Amino acid sequence: MSSMVSRPPAADSSRALAHFESLLEFETDCWDVNHAITNDRKDFVLLDVRSEENYKKGHIEGAISLPYARITEDSLKEYSLDTLFVVYCAGPHCNATEKAAIRLAKLGRPVKKMIGGITGWRDEGFSLTEEDS
């Protein structure tokens, strides 16, 4: 008797490899972002694509507040066309990262999603920075 897990057969290894390797073209995780930041290896621009109000309540140190609806060619003019943007929002329950990534991709900009967002960041034990009022 098979379970709901094994009833649909797993993909063969070559398809699984292609699938999981391709995921890394589109996403990164909180640990890798934190490691890059804390080891002075940040070769990307980290965008907090939530509202400015939520950004002020707490964000990842070094992140730039750019709500997804404000991502335009004009708002990105200070960055070279090959700048990699890493976007994050509140967490798995929020799709602002996808909205931001779509906007960036339509503008021809390299982009990755930080999976987990603020929820994942906190789950990893990393702290947030608040804006001074």
Instruction: Please list the active-site residues.
Output: 89
C-alpha torsion 54→57→58→59, nearest 10:
40
Q: How far apart are the first and last CA of the chain?
A: 61
Tokens (6 digits) for 6: 């094994």
Q: Residue 19 in contact with residue 95, Cβ under 8 Å?
A: no
Q: How many CB atoms lie within 10 A of CB 23?
A: 10
Q: Residue 97 in contact with residue 85, Cβ under 8 Å?
A: no
Give the integer Cα–Cα distance in Å for 129 and 56.
8
